[in-house]
Structure formats: C-alpha cells, structure tokens
Structure 1
Amino acid sequence: MKRLLPLMLAAALAIGFGTANAQKSKKKNKGKDTEKVAPAKKDDDKDKGPKPYAKFIDSTFTTSKGLMTVHQKKDKYYFEIPEALFGKELMAITRYTKTAAGGDVFGGEEVNEQVVRWEKGPDDNILLRSITYVMMSPDSLSPMFRAVDNSNAAPIIGAFKIEALKKDSVYVIDVTSTFDGDNQAFSVDPRTKQEYNISSLKKEASFIERISTYPTNTEIRTIKTFGVNPPKRESGPSTGPRTTYFPASVGVGVVTLELNTSFVLLPSNPMRKRPFDYRVGYFYNQYSLFEEESQKADEDIFAVRWRLEPKNADDAARQKNGELIEPKKPIVYYIDPATPEKWRPFLKQGVDDWNIAFEAAGWKNAIRGEYWPEDDSTMSLEDARYSVIRYFAADIQNAYGPNVHDPRTGEIIESHIGWYHNVMRLLRNWYMIQAAAVDPDARSKEFSDELMGQLVRFVSSHEVGHTLGLRHNMGASSATPVEKLRDKDWVVQNGHTSSIMDYARFNYVAQPGDGVTDLFPRIGDYDVWAIKWGYSYFGDDITEEQAKATLNTWTKEAYKNRRLWFGTEISPYDPRYQTEDLGDNAMKASDYGIENLKRLMPSLIEWSAEDGEAYKELEEIYRNVLSQYRRYMGHVIKNVGGIYDSPKTYDMEGPVYEVVPKALQKDAINFLSKQLFTTPTWLMDQSVLNKIKPESGVESLSALQEYGVTRLLEGDRLVRLIETSAQSPNNYSVNDLFTDLSASILSEVRSRSNITVNRRNLQKIYVDELIKLLEPGDVTVRSIPNGAGYAFDTRKVDLDQTDVPSLARGHLERIKGWLSSAATGSADQVSKYHMADLRKRIEQALDPR
C-alpha cells in the first residue's frame, strides 16, 4: 500500500490542476462571441486503476473466506491477496483428479509441485513467483545474501492486474485465466504432453469447476481439454522419444483431464532441520549454503520427515523423563473410499503397525490409519491437508509411497500413497513362488481373503515407511545368518529381515519340515532404530550442534549391532545390498531357494488349473519360477568383484571399503558352475512346457546362461577385479575368473566327452564373450563417494589399455590348444563339429588376416 499512495496523490493533484485551468479559460472568454469550447474529454484514467473494494465486490459475488479469500461471479474467480501474505512461501501441488483411461496415469497421482510466493509488482500488478531452493545464505543483512539473491532470480509464473483495493491492504485479482488456461505451473507438463501426443488447450472446453478455500490452503479444481496430434505416417524407423495415445483421444481428437491444485501455506515457524546421516536411510533435501565467515560453499543436507512436537511444556518434560506422550498433531493416513471394503482394514493396519517404532522415539498414538468419512462434503481427497492411501483401478503390479515436503527444512506436508489393484497379482506370484513349499495356503490360484489381506498389510507398511521419510534398506536382510532363517523360534522372535524397508519379500530359505510359518516381513529392529533417529524430539533448550552430536553418539552405538545398519539401495558392488535376497551368504540362501523351486515344479499345473480355461495361468506362474531362479543367479554374481561398503565417520574404527574375500568369490563361481552352467534340466519340465510353448526350453535356458556369462564379464566388474587384485595377490583376479570359468564351462573339451546342446550353446556364448574382450573399448565405472546419499562418481576406463585384452588373448590361446587336443577324442560327431567351429572362431579372432 505504501507504494500506491504517492501515485494516487499525484493523480489527484493532476486532476485539480486541470480543473483550475478550465475555470480560468471560462472567465477569460466570458461575453465574447467565440467558437464554442468543446466539452472536456472524460478522464479515463479514473477507470484504469484499482476500484474501491465495496464498489467492486458486491452482492452479485459468492464469497468464501480462507487462506486466500475467493470471490466468484458466474465463471470468473477472484482472489483476495492480503499484504501480510506477500513474501510468504506456499507449496503449489497439482494432482490428477480424473484421467482418461488407458494411459497408465490415475486420479490422485501428482502432476507438479513447487514453492511459490506472492509479491507486489509495478503498475498495479501482483506477481506470483516460483521459488527454487538451490542456494541459500542465512543472514539476510549480509553482502553474501545479496550475492546469492543476485544469482537466484525467481521466475514469474503469473502477473495479475489489481482489480480492487481494500483499506486493510488487501488486493483483489482475477485468477480465472491462470487456472482455466494452460499455465504450465498448474497444468500438464510438456514431457507428459509429448508422451501422449497432447497439443494445445481447447479453451472452449476447459474451465474451473470450483475453488475451495480453508485457513491454511486453497484448492482449485479444473477441467482441461487438450487437442491431440494426429498419428504421423512413418516412412522410416522412429528416432524420437516414445509417444502413445490415450485410447479415448484417438477417435475424437481430444483428451479431457481433471486436475486439482493445492496452495498450502508453509509454516511461518520452520521445523528444525535434522542433518542427513548416510549411516541412516532417510530421503533428504539439500542446497548450497553460503555464509559470510565460511571459506567455501557448504552443502546443507537434511532428512525428510514429519514434524512431531509435544502439545505443551509439561508433555515435553514428561517425555524427557522417559514417558510416552501423544504428539500435538499425529500423522494420519486416510483410506480412499474407492478401495474395496475387504482390503480397507488391512491397509489401515499397515499404517497402525508403525506405532511400535514411534514408541522408541517417545511417542504414543503418533500415527494412525482412518477410514474416509464419506458423508463429510467438506473433505476432498485432493485437499493437501489430508494424506491418503489412494486406490487405482489398474492392472499395474505396483504400489508407491511419495511425500510432499517443505524444501527449506524437509518437513513432510502430506502424502498420497498409490496402491494399484493388480499389486495383489504381484503378491500372489511372489508368495506362491517363494513360500508355497512350506505354506499350503499358497498353493492355489486364488488366495483366501485373510492371506491376501496380510500381504496387502505388508505392502501398506512398506509404502507408509517411505512416506515417513525412509529409503529402502537393501542391506537389512544380510544381517541374518542363513541357517537362522530355518530356525522357527529365532524367526518368530526376529523375523527374516531386520527391516520392512528391505526388498526381502518372503522367507524362501525355510525348508519343509523346519516348522517355520512366520514368512512375512514386519516392522523390524532397524525400522525402530531409524524412527528413533528421525523422530526423537529435541527441544529448543539444546542447540542444533548439540542435537547433531547426540544423534552421532546414538548412531555409533547402533552400529555395534549389525541388524541396525543401513545398506544403500544403489550400490553397484556390495553383495550385501541387493534386492529380493536373504541372509548373509547368497550361495547358501540360493541353494535352499532352488531346492524349494524344484519342489514346486511338479505341482504348477495343479495349482493353476481351472476348467474351461487356457494355460495362461500356468505360463505366468512358470515365468515367475524362471524369474526367481534368475534372481538367485544375480545375487551370487554380485559377490564376484564385490566390495563391501560400510559407512563410517572419522570417529569410527575400521575401513569403509573391503574386498569380498577370495574364498567367497570362488564359492560364487562354484555355485554358478553347479546351478547354472551345469544344465538345470529340472527347469525344462516337459509336462509344463508342452502346455505353454512349442519350444522345449533350450533357448530359454540358453538366455539364462548368457545372462550369467555376460554379467560376470561386464567391464566394470573386470575393472574392480584389476583394482582389488593389485592390492594383494590374495584377492580374486581377472585371471582367476577366466581360469575358473574356462574350467567349468569347457570341462567336456578337456575330458574329450560328448557335449549336449545346452552346453554347446553355453560354450559358444563364453568363447564369443572372450573374443569381444580382445577389443573391449571404454567402460563406465560407477562408485558411491563416502558420505553420499544418491550421488555417484563416474569415470571412463579404456579397457584396451588394461590387462583385460591380454588375459583374454592368453586364455583364448589356451582354449584353442584344448580344442586341438580334443579333435582326436571320442566325442560324438556333433560335438566334434562344435569344437572345430569354436577353434575356427578363436583362430579368426586372434589372427583376423
């Protein structure tokens, strides 16, 4: 308002000056027969500026009061922006409320989110800017702050003429065209448009459905119709990005999407940040921090979590003395009313299960699931005040758990968990393949509601964990000795993994007769510890540095217990950190898993049978058997060239990086020799295969074996073997790997015996891969910097300048000698042809002239 007063005063003076001159002119010409003076032109300037509030907002408007008071007149919408809101930061979160079918996007999914703020602009305008947190300076009065501000211009995403002014510094603006138009900040982003061949907005079929406003948020529901680019006639192979169409748009040339944008006021009293610690698995936010006294820019990295605070000082004191207290504002997740009723209790229980972890942080009743009150018309599923487990009627086999958080502090504002209906299909397949050997309830095409409900509960707990800020802890299951997974009492007490945030799924190690019936993941020791770390309350009576020191002490103490370690989900080289694995030894665990897979094979037809139906169900289950078997191979392969990565700080003892012992790497090759390279004929059950495919399984097995060979000979693995064997001759080397593989894969050549078709295929694959290593070229090697979260260091290595081609040449020469000697052996004719072919391939590769 202060900026407007001089302008208004100047306008008033100008009007007065003009009127006085007119009066003088009349007196001067009085009594003279002169040409009539034309009437003064109406001063339009009076209509150009803001109107008085009372003259603009009248009884023809419908008004709703809230964070931004909303006025509606027919199809026009106006916001009141109080001056007190200028400079305040808001989250703008846009979600789909309804989508066109067939595009794999669903109502409730997020489209866009950003931080915005209102500010006064020039010429009676209000501006809306988008704020990006990349760099910060804490002292707004320092020269450093000005330098940061000069490098951090916020884009203007809306400019609004002030339509009316209220005496108490409130500005009325017309927001209609911003929200019924195609402003990217509140609409579908360009990449999505490109993916679905969406073109320009159809203004005549796009409108604001309603705007609702509340004390801390304003909700804008819009319907947007877009044109669709017609299919192009392709004259050659496509080189652009993948595109598709919503099926509904193909026939009519348009697509209609319904969106909801939430404006949520961020806390005026920001939550105290919790410094990110890479030894505890939390999602994080970060920005560069420039301080006046610092000699370099620091990275301010902090964990993402909900704000839990005591209701009052008395509660804070009680909690400090060890008593559990209820938080001022608990974490509440609503169950989408579109969810089938029989699954709602299990989804709710998956939320409630986390209370045991919050108790370790000093809270009781800190988190709960609630059913959506369907008779309350004041509540909306898209209202950003509510966190919801959304049900999606889709055949996607997945669920996910995101959150929306304050980028300044990491405080979680709300979350919409996505649960696709067909995740139950995924759960059926996982549980049948991994647990049916010991659980009779898993031996049917359809599970009982109770069993499926417990599986849904497990998924609910896992996804809720993500929305509490927790990352995947892929190292949790490696803290359990394999043999303990067969110990009934131990598993009942501890579970088969120490974290529900692991991809440990179900206990596939337990064997029939062990008596193990506790096969599900649950909130474990690590989860309890991680919630204690993230949600223990530190009052204002201690500084941030003191709180950080306390957390560090706790973490070092926790690391004395292997079950409380965090293992990153992105490690390219630590065999302890893997998806879908169990136990502390992949070779032992996979042996047990394969024994159980063998037990399933004779029963697959019976468990999938349904009269009058084709064998699609049998094919799906069999594919899942192959996938599980392939996972076991991958778990073992990661030991070769493996490096243990144990996050530690300066005040902890021992190395961070350690080479996987040579004996374990040789065990891995021996396992692969036994379970993969020796033809797994049990997978080629002809009673199954002759019902689902015309082939006998030769090529399917060949693909599995090719996967094993190519993974073992990957360039980055060979680089690690070179690096680690250079440290000590006692470490496994590339030469050891080639020697062991050749001995296993080419054993019939050395014994001059008959070679089956599967083994002939495998030998060709292996020899061809060695030939490729004569000219291996560049490879990208990734590593995780010590102390990093999701960051990778990458470097290019020219394998041509390493020992790899030399060793490949030497071993090919050696194999050629074996093949020459085997030519006079007693193998059958096809085997001799095969060996002659191998020898010729090697000779041409070694001497292409």
Structure 2
Amino acid sequence: MKTVFLLLCSLTILPCTSVRAQKTTPKKPPAIEAKTEGLQKMDGYFDFWYSDDEGKIYLEVERMDEEFLYVNSLAAGLGSNDIGLDRNQLGNTRVVSFHRVGPKVLLKQRNLDYRAMSDNPDEVASVRDAFAQSTIAGFKVVAKTGDAVLIDLTPLLLSDAHGVVSKLKRSKQGNYKVDANRSAVYLDRTKNFPKNSEFEASLTFTGEATGRQLRSVTPTSGAFTLRMHHSFVELPDENYTPRTFDPRSGYYARSYADYATPIDQPLVKRFITRHRLEKKDPSAKMSEPVEPIVYYLDRGAPEPVKSALLEGASWWNQAYEAAGYKNAFQVKVLPEGADPMDVRYNVINWVHRSTRGWSYGSSVTDPRTGEIIKGHVLLGSLRVRQDFLLAQGLIPAYADGVTPDPRLEEMALARLRQLSAHEVGHTIGLAHNFAASTNDRASVMDYPHPYITLKNGEVDFSQAYAVGIGEWDKRAIMYGYTDFPEGTDESAALDQILNENDRLGLKYISDSDARPAGSMQPDAHLWENGTDPIEEMDRLMDLREHALNNFGMDNIPDGMPVSELEKVLVPVYLMHRYQVEALAKQIGGYHYTYAVKTKGQGNSVRPVAADRQKAAVDMLLKSMSPAALALNEKLLGLIPPSAMGYSRDRELFKTHNGGAFDPLAMAETAADNNLKFLLHHHRLARIAEQHALFPDFSDDDKSLSKYLEYAGERIHAQLKATGAGSYPNQVAQIVEKRYVAHLLQAAANTGASEQVRAAALGELLRLKNIFNDWKDPKGANGAHYVYLTQQIDQFITDPASVKITQAPALPDGSPIGCGGLH
C-alpha cells in the first residue's frame, strides 16, 4: 500500500508542476516618467519624446477616443512629373482617434461618408455599425501613468503612409519596399506646437526598377530615399457653420449620406469647402476680418518668379473686398525656418521636376464640415519655360543672336501671375470655370490660351494674359464668404447672388462638361479665347501663318544646334490644336447650364444653331487643308536631324522617316487631331439625335449621312485640287487616308450607337464607289485609291481582320503653361 501511495502522489504532483511552469505573469509597464527619463521631450498637442539611442519617437496619449485630424504628406519627392510623387505633396486627411484595448492602442478612423445627424444615440450607432470603419495602426503600451499611456510611434512614421510602393507598381516602375535599416526619424522637421504635432521620417525604398521614369530621376534606382511627413492636428471648434453647396456656385462639394434624413428630403447632404472667415462687424458693409487668410510663398522661388507669384496670389484680395472685407486675404514670404508642411501655414510651393507638368491647388479640409484648415499649392517650375517657348516661336526672339526679346520673359511672368491666382483659387474652395473665356476672361479659374494678336503685321503680346481677378471670381467669393448680418435669411441671400450672376451673363461650366473629347457643351473649353470659337479659329490660323512665314534662325540663340529649332517650331505649328476642340463642340452641341428648378422655367437645353454647326465644320476642314498643313519652302530644308548630344523626345513630333524632321508626319498628326473631334462617335450620335428630335432645327440636309458625305466630299475635293506627286498632294492624300481610317474605326466601334456605325459604313461604301473611278494604279493618285479601296473591301468582307492604322501621336501639350486639376 505504501508503494502504491507514493506512486499516486507522483502521478498527482507531476502534472501540477507542469501547469505552474506554463503560467506567466504579464509584466507591468513602467511609469512614463521612468521610461522617458533622459530623453528629449517636445511639449505640444501630443507630448512626445525622442530617444537618440534607439532612434524612436515615444508619444504620450492621454485623451483616448478624442478625435483629431491625421494628415500624411510627402516632404521630399521623387522629381518625376509622370510618376507624380512631388516635394511637399499632400496626402490623405482623416478624422481619427486613439482607442485603448488592454495592452494595445489602436488608431481608428471614423467613416464620415455615412452618418446619422440625430440626437438619438441608437440611430447614430445603427449607421456607424452598418458601414466599415478603419483601423490605421496598432501600438503596444510601453509605459503607463494613471490613464495616460506611452506608445512607440516610430513604426507608423517609418511606414509607407503615402502609398509610394503602390504608386510605383501601378505606373510599372518596379516593385519596392521600405528598408527599415536605411530609414529613420528626420528630427529637423519633427516639431510640436499647442494645436498640432508634426513628425517626419526619411524612408529608403529598395527594389528593382522596371521603368525608365524612375531610373531617370534617381542616382541609384535600386535604393532611393524620400521623406514622409505626419501631422496630428486638433480639430476646429464647433463655431464654424457649413455653407450649402449649389451647383451654380463654382465651388467644390463635400458630401455625406445622412440616414437620419426624413424620407421626403434628399439623403445626400452637400456643402462647399472654404476657409473660416468672419467680419469683426458683420453689420458693416466693409469690415476687417476677425482673422485674415494668410498665404505664404516658398522661400525657394527665385526672382523674378517670386514677385510674380506674390502679385498673382494677392489678386484674391480684390474678390474679398467685393464681399465686404478689408485686408482679408494676404500673401507673404514664408518665414525663415518655417516648415511648409506645418498645417498652420497656407503655402504656395515652387516645385521642381525633371519634365514639365501640372500645377495643383489642394487643401487640408475638415471632413466633417468642409472647413479648409490649410491651403496648399504646388507650382511646377518648368511651366514658365514653356510659356517662354510659346512666345519664342512667334517672333525673331534672338535678333542679335544673344539677348532674348524681353517680351518673352514678360509673357512668361504674366502667365505665372495668373497661374498663382488660379491654383490659390482651388485652395480657397473654387472649381474650374471653363466658360469664363466667353465672358471676357471673367475668371482666373479658366485655362487661358495666350491671347496674342497681329497689329499692322506685327505680333502683339500686350493682351496675352489677363491682369487681376475676374468678375466671376468676385461673385463666387461673395457666395462662399459673405458674412451676413444677424437675422439675414442666408438661403435667400445666397440665391440672390446666383440669380444676379445669371442677370450679369456670367456663365459657369466645370470639368466634367468641358474636358471629354466628345463633350457637347459649346461654351466651355480649355485653352481657348473669345465668345465665338469660329472667329477665334480663323484669327489663330492667321497668326499661325504669320509666325510660320517668319520662322527661322533668329528664333534660337547663337551657339545652339540648329536641330533645336524643331522644339521651338512645334508649338507654333500646333498653335490651333486646342481651338480645334473648342470649334468641334459647336457640332452636335447643346447649350445648357447648371440650372435649378424655378417657377415658370422653360426648356434648359437647346441645340447649337444649324448654320453655326455648318460653319464650324467648314472651319475644321479648312484648318486641315494642304494650304494650312504644308510648310513653306524655306522651312523644308532648314532643320537637320538631332545634333550629337541631343535627341528626339516627347516634345517633338513622331516621325515615319527614321527620326529626322518629318513635315509629312507633322501634317498627319495635325489632321488626325481634327478628325478625332470631327468624327467622335458621341458627336456623331448627337447629330443623328438632333435631326430626329428637333425637326424645326434640322432637315434632310442635316442628317448624319449628309454630314459625313459633306465632310468626305470637301476632303476629296482638296485632294483633286492638288498637282499629282506634289507636296500639297501628299498632304491631301494623308488627310483622306486619315478620314477613311476614322470612318473604319466608327463603323467597327461596338461602343458607338448603331446609327453611327451604319452611317459610317454607308459613307465608306459611297467613297469606295468614288475611289473605284480613280484607282488606275498608273494614274494620278492611283496607288492612294487602290490602297483605300482595298481597306474598305477588306473591312466589308471581314471587319475583324482590319487593323486600323493609328497616326503618330501629338507631342505633349497640356499643360501649355496653365493651372491644374485636383
């Protein structure tokens, strides 16, 4: 029995010993004071410490579940316009809060796109729980004192918060990752203030470059370093009142779905984005603001650029004066030592890239209300050189061989003033207004083509760009920023401003109705001037002809390779490229506005008058005639292939002849640009539509088939009018080949309406009959007709077998020295 007892005890004791060995007691975190002893402390919105030995940032979190703004940005960029990772580029703005769960602290983002604006907490919770929230980061508690905890913020700071890796992958530049061993906190730009905490880190990305763009801007493409900035910002107080968005107002809209809205009201709520601005005396017609809006210019902008940018941005004070404010908008140079990414500063940044590109106006905005907290402009520095180049081709710019005509720089700086005002306009809440050119350049929020004229046979630059803020801009600021006296019916007062805009004839059309190639709005376009696009095209073609006739060696300085003349010639030859698109919008176009319902309102959509549509067609055909597209004899032998050490790039025309200057390829490219708009399938569909739906407007001569037949006959007549084998004859052949190519494309386009495809096929068959009468291979233009007939026959027999030839692409155009898009 004794032996058995001992055995049982052994069996009992051994498992107990094993269980005790597996138990661990969680280690209690040290006090914050103990953990941070000897570390560099930075007091501010969130107190934090820097450990030099560890290279870490330790953040104290006292206020759990209290919301604040988290903004990430890119402080030092890549320098490639194509990739789009610029110095001082803003990233995302989120409303976040820290939330503690045991030993963890989570950084959570609230979903503000779906809300319930209700006093009922259960209703609020039901919407919150119906849509996903986001947890951005998680941290371990490393120290604790009372309710306050200390977390290691460094992993967040060293993460790819700006999405560099995904952007490089999307642009096919390579697969990269952050190398922690080559990344560190950047203490020079890590600072703390009472209402914002600013952090920065230097991140090294390693991988293998697969794209030329990345390799072109990095010293070693396998490992390149950028800097990322992180801002924790106190949310604004609740004294700001959002202002209602109206589609006629000219502002960007922020919106959210409010599920507490009564059934008979719209679910989506929309309000404008704007800075907080209040009068000291709202009852006064003119009052100083409680706090002015102040913008700061990048200290890296050189003279005379700096003065031009300061002047252009300052124009906005004219608009605020019209809204009843005195000195409400101010522009200064950024104080020495100030960080442009600090959210306390509205900044106009002067940004360098390896190639020219867009400028941008963006902002840090409270997602809850639309209040702009920080306006932030990025201006591409190479854009000013493009305007200089536009002017250089129009006159003998280097008549003495060395010193450029001063008008070149004057025009470039005039554009910079307008560009500065344009991009700042975005950061105070305004969208583009591409109809402003029809109202005597009524807004800096349009994209202006330089308005250069001929006076007594001389080129005149004096009106190239408008000076000062426009009438539309003043009215828009009145809508967004007027501080109405107490007791004012704000809704009625805002509506009165918009109705007055209509009475003044101030048109407003923005991006979605102006940018698409097949868009129908005849009053809004990018890079054009004047109230009548037909007259403006005629005027531009005269200016272009004058410039081409006078183009020569004096357009470049002494010592420059003669081959570089082509870069100066390109914008002259394509001076009309944007007016082509503006002109085409008259064809199949409809007049309309962003009207809202009012009593007694009639039809708000009407077709462009038939005679104007025909005039637009005639002008488009004229601008791709041999007379328009052929160069003069002097230019044909002037420009050699690229000199040693220089090369063809995307600013030049593509060629068919092996890389030399190619006047025939130039003509093909320009003609194809015209035909792309003339025969866009949306435009053709509207021509058929207008013929059917508006009988008083149209007749049998305005049908789609007649439209195509008219264009085809005019193009064919241009060919027959030229001498066989001549330069104009070759240009005319090219135009007709491109016309047939576009018809084949329309007939084969499954995304086009069947009316369009049928009409295109009918025109091809009509042309085939004409070509058959002329296709003797030994006759004039014989090979041309044989080729086109064979193309049409093959398409009729087996449409899928026809590979439609593409014309050489246009050289880079936008931006030609103009403001940009968010």
CA contact (8 A) 1:49 1:163 kept: no
Q: Aligned to 1:663, what secondary structure does the other structure show?
A: helix
Specify the alignment match of 2:493 in structure 1. 550
1:750 Cα offset (Å): 8.1
Residues 804 and 602 (structure 1 numbering): CA distance in 2 closer, same or farther, change over 3 Å?
closer
Specify the alignment match of 2:814 in structure 1. none
Q: Are residue 742 (structure 1) and residue 687 (structure 2) matched?
A: no
Which letter maps to 1:499?
S
Q: Are residue 62 (structure 1) and residue 40 (structure 2) matched?
A: yes
- CA distance in 2 between partners of 1:63 and 1:725 (Å): 75
Specify the alignment match of 1:92 in structure 2. 71
1:342 to 304, 326, 330: 304
Which letter maps to 2:128?
D
Q: Are residue 118 (structure 1) and residue 77 (structure 2) matched?
A: no
Q: Are residue 256 (structure 1) and residue 228 (structure 2) matched?
A: no
Specify the alignment match of 1:34 in structure 2. none
2:444 to 481, 491, 500: 500
Q: Are residue 561 (structure 1) and residue 519 (structure 2) matched?
A: no
Which letter maps to 1:668?
A
Residues 828 and 553 (structure 1 numbering): CA distance in 2 closer, same or farther, change over 3 Å?
farther
Q: Are residue 803 (structure 1) and residue 765 (structure 2) matched?
A: no
Q: Aligned to 2:262, what secondary structure does the other structure show?
A: coil
Q: Aligned to 2:638, what secondary structure does the other structure show?
A: helix
2:561 to 603, 614, 617: 614
TM-score (norm 1): 0.79
Which letter maps to 1:309?
E
1:829 to 755, 774, 779: 779
CA contact (8 A) 1:128 1:158 kept: yes
**How far does the alpha carbon of each residue in 1:466-523 deviate from its partner, in whole angstroms, 9 at most, with x for none?**
211212211111234xxxxxxxxxxxxxxxx111111123223564479893332231
Residues 134 and 758 (structure 1 numbering): CA distance in 2 closer, same or farther, change over 3 Å?
same
2:151 to 167, 173, 179: 173
Q: Which runs of 5+ in 2 are unaligned?
A: 1-16, 642-659, 800-822
1:819 Cα offset (Å): 4.3
Q: Aligned to 2:191, what secondary structure does the other structure show?
A: strand
CA contact (8 A) 1:472 1:569 kept: no
- CA distance in 1 between partners of 2:722 and 2:174 (Å): 61
- CA distance in 1 between partners of 2:50 and 2:68 (Å): 25
- CA distance in 1 between partners of 2:672 and 2:508 (Å): 35
CA contact (8 A) 1:689 1:697 kept: no
With 834-843 and 519-528 compared, the bigger mean Cα shift is at 834-843
CA contact (8 A) 2:775 2:784 kept: no
Which letter maps to 2:161?
A
**How far does the alpha carbon of each residue in 1:238-270 deviate from its partner, in whole angstroms, 9 at most, with x for none?**
xxxx67534576747322222221112221316
Q: Aligned to 1:92, what secondary structure does the other structure show?
A: strand
- CA distance in 1 between partners of 2:62 and 2:194 (Å): 13
Specify the alignment match of 2:649 in structure 1. none
1:665 to 613, 616, 624: 613
Specify the alignment match of 1:153 in structure 2. 132
1:276 Cα offset (Å): 1.7
- CA distance in 2 between partners of 1:520 and 1:140 (Å): 53
Specify the alignment match of 1:765 in structure 2. 738
Q: Which one has more relative contact order, counting CA pairs under 8 Å at least 6 apart?
A: 2
Specify the alignment match of 1:368 in structure 2. 330
**How far does the alpha carbon of each residue in 1:108-128 deviate from its partner, in whole angstroms, 9 at most, with x for none?**
332522314223322143221
Specify the alignment match of 1:236 in structure 2. none
Specify the alignment match of 1:22 in structure 2. none
1:705 to 652, 671, 674: 671
Specify the alignment match of 2:60 in structure 1. 80
Q: Are residue 310 (structure 1) and residue 254 (structure 2) matched?
A: no
CA contact (8 A) 1:221 1:258 kept: yes
Q: Aligned to 1:477, what secondary structure does the other structure show?
A: helix
Q: Aligned to 1:173, what secondary structure does the other structure show?
A: strand
- CA distance in 2 between partners of 1:429 and 1:215 (Å): 48
1:73 Cα offset (Å): 3.3
**How far does the alpha carbon of each residue in 1:631-677 deviate from its partner, in whole angstroms, 9 at most, with x for none?**
23222222211122222111163333211111111001111232323
Which letter maps to 1:557?
E
**How far does the alpha carbon of each residue in 1:137-169 deviate from its partner, in whole angstroms, 9 at most, with x for none?**
1115254322211123322222233344445x4
Alignment of 1:445-844 (within 5 A): 451-480=411-440, 497-508=441-452, 511-512=455-456, 517-522=462-467, 523-538=469-484, 541=487, 546-568=489-511, 570-571=513-514, 572-651=519-598, 653-680=601-628, 683-687=631-635, 690-692=638-640, 694=660, 697-729=663-695, 730-731=697-698, 732-747=702-717, 756-773=729-746, 775-779=747-751, 797=752, 799=753, 802-819=754-771, 829-835=779-785, 837-839=787-789, 841-842=791-792
Residues 191 and 551 (structure 1 numbering): CA distance in 2 closer, same or farther, change over 3 Å?
same
Q: Are residue 390 (structure 1) and residue 335 (structure 2) matched?
A: no
Residues 727 and 676 (structure 1 numbering): CA distance in 2 closer, same or farther, change over 3 Å?
same
Q: Which runs of 5+ in 1 are unaligned?
A: 1-37, 232-241, 481-496, 780-796
With 97-106 and 394-403 compared, the bigger mean Cα shift is at 97-106
CA contact (8 A) 1:435 1:506 kept: no
With 448-457 and 815-824 compared, the bigger mean Cα shift is at 815-824
With 642-651 and 727-736 compared, the bigger mean Cα shift is at 727-736
Which letter maps to 1:63?
K
Specify the alignment match of 1:208 in structure 2. 185
- CA distance in 2 between partners of 1:137 and 1:479 (Å): 43
1:69 Cα offset (Å): 1.0
1:50 Cα offset (Å): 4.3
CA contact (8 A) 1:308 1:330 kept: yes
The count of residues paired between Structure 1 and Structure 2 equals 740
Specify the alignment match of 1:358 in structure 2. 320
1:410 Cα offset (Å): 1.3
- CA distance in 2 between partners of 1:574 and 1:436 (Å): 38
Which letter maps to 2:47?
T
Q: Percent identity?
A: 23
Residues 504 and 436 (structure 1 numbering): CA distance in 2 closer, same or farther, change over 3 Å?
farther
1:355 Cα offset (Å): 0.7
Specify the alignment match of 1:272 in structure 2. 241
- CA distance in 2 between partners of 1:394 and 1:823 (Å): 53
Q: Aligned to 1:830, what secondary structure does the other structure show?
A: coil
Q: Aligned to 1:156, what secondary structure does the other structure show?
A: strand
Q: Aligned to 1:604, what secondary structure does the other structure show?
A: coil
CA contact (8 A) 1:505 1:521 kept: no
Specify the alignment match of 2:10 in structure 1. none
- CA distance in 2 between partners of 1:709 and 1:102 (Å): 29
- CA distance in 2 between partners of 1:212 and 1:316 (Å): 37
Residues 125 and 676 (structure 1 numbering): CA distance in 2 closer, same or farther, change over 3 Å?
same
Specify the alignment match of 1:9 in structure 2. none
- CA distance in 1 between partners of 2:80 and 2:579 (Å): 37
Specify the alignment match of 2:174 in structure 1. 197
Cα RMSD, aligned residues only: 3.5
- CA distance in 1 between partners of 2:457 and 2:719 (Å): 42
**How far does the alpha carbon of each residue in 1:664-712 deviate from its partner, in whole angstroms, 9 at most, with x for none?**
1100111123232354255345436531455562232122223323432
1:139 to 109, 118, 121: 118
TM-score (norm 2): 0.82
1:436 Cα offset (Å): 9.2
1:588 Cα offset (Å): 0.6
CA contact (8 A) 1:434 1:506 kept: no
Residues 532 and 695 (structure 1 numbering): CA distance in 2 closer, same or farther, change over 3 Å?
same
Residues 815 and 115 (structure 1 numbering): CA distance in 2 closer, same or farther, change over 3 Å?
closer
Specify the alignment match of 2:651 in structure 1. none
Q: Aligned to 1:691, what secondary structure does the other structure show?
A: coil
- CA distance in 2 between partners of 1:192 and 1:660 (Å): 45
- CA distance in 2 between partners of 1:154 and 1:57 (Å): 33
- CA distance in 1 between partners of 2:721 and 2:542 (Å): 29
CA contact (8 A) 1:405 1:411 kept: yes
Structure of greater Rg: 1
- CA distance in 1 between partners of 2:717 and 2:683 (Å): 24
